[in-house]
Homo-oligomer: A and B are copies of this chain.
């Protein structure tokens, strides 16, 4: 069964991943934690813009933010990544099962024809 909560979670997750800058940030956080300033540094855009990207990523559950002195270090939350992964794998599994059944069916037909 599918719940509205799960749907909204997946909406937020895939929306978060649909932007190049945000995928970039996720990739960089997979290497190690970083502050907002660190994350903003490579881009032409303002730190405020990056801060808003971080907000989107946080709402999706992909990252979390802590506090250390004046900085807000960001950390990847790999559990959210797993949720996206398992939705995709769900569709893939159904599809390959269907192919398997099709192949089995074709094999049987060919068997009968011999």
Contact = CB atoms under 8 A, between A and B. Distances in A.
Interface of A: 7, 10-11, 14-15, 17-20, 23, 26-27, 30-32, 76, 78, 81-82, 84-85, 87-92, 94-96, 98
Given A11-B18, A14-B18, A18-B11, A23 B94 contact: no
A30 B89 CA distance: 11
A88 B81 contact: yes
A11 B7 contact: no
Given A10-B20, A17-B14, A30 B81 contact: no
Contact of A81 (B7, B26, B91): B91
Given A7-B20, A11-B19, A18-B11, A30 B88 contact: no
